[in-house]
């Protein structure tokens, strides 16, 4: 389900909105760049998250339940999991060492926060005539990402700091990927890709932001 929320939902929304509101001459190009930015954000975040998990990951809050330590395991001394854990599910045990950063948090924000940025640009929410409805539409994906991230602390899969680090990671890569292709949502032509602006800074095409 994580891949659905972090990738497929933003992908479908971006594809549909791009095809609906952009000028026919630029429709496919804008859609392509938008989806490219999303894919780069999600997959870069996924790779970096896995590298950090394998390099610095610590015990999950539910590690003891995964380990099922022996009743006679020594207390108040450092021990190796292989010496005290009785579980036969080694895959689940090994995953108990990979809590930081939270993959659900990082990927959710990589996809859904990217979608918020993209919608902010396409809907030109920083213009004076932009109403509360546009802001609500823009904020909704980020709210979804936050709920997914916070949910990881409720089932004892992650510490709060894991969620915080993962969220910052996803937000950072979403910003990086989006701003490589599109101007800041606060700019006048926020809905127009940077490459099109280089060709013609006054290129005009139909956008909700122009209404």
Catalytic residue among 108, 158, 167, 174: 158
Residue 158 appears among annotated catalytic residues? yes
**CA atoms of 130 and 120, how far apart (whole Å):** 10
- How is the chain classified by DSSP, letter by letter? -HHIIIIIHHHHHHHHHHHHHS-TTTHHHHHHHHHHHHHHHHHHHHHHHHHHHHHH----TTHHHHH-B-TT--SSS---HHHHB--S-HHHHHHTT--SS-HHHHHHHHHHHHHHHHHHHHTTTTSTT--HHHHHHHHHHHHHHHHHHHHHHHTTSS-HHHHHHHHHHHHHHHHHHHHHHS--TTSTTTTS-HHHHHH-TT-----GGG-
Residue 59 appears among annotated catalytic residues? no
Catalytic residue among 53, 66, 104, 157: 104
**CA atoms of 58 and 108, how far apart (whole Å):** 21
Active site residues: 104, 158
């Amino acid at each position: 389900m994580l891949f659905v929320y972090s990738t497929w939902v933003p992908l479908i929304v971006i594809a549909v909105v791009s095809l609906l509101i952009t000028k026919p001459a630029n429709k496919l190009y804008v859609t392509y760049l938008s989806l490219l930015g999303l894919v780069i954000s999600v997959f870069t975040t996924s790779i970096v998250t896995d590298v950090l998990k394998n390099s610095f990951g610590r015990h999950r809050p539910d590690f003891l339940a995964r380990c099922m330590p022996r009743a006679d395991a020594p207390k108040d001394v450092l021990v190796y999991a292989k010496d005290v854990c009785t579980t036969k599910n080694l895959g689940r045990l090994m995953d108990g060492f990979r809590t930081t950063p939270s993959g659900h948090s990082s990927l959710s924000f990589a996809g859904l926060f990217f979608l918020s940025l993209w919608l902010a640009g396409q809907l030109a929410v920083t213009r004076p005539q932009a109403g509360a409805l546009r802001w609500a539409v823009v904020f909704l994906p980020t709210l979804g990402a936050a709920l997914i991230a916070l949910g990881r602390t409720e089932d004892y899969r992650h510490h709060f700091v894991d969620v915080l680090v993962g969220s910052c990671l996803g937000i950072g890569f979403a910003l990086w990927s989006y701003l490589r292709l599109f101007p800041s949502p606060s700019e006048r032509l926020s809905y127009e890709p940077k490459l099109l602006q280089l060709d013609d800074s006054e290129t005009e095409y139909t956008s909700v932001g122009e209404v």
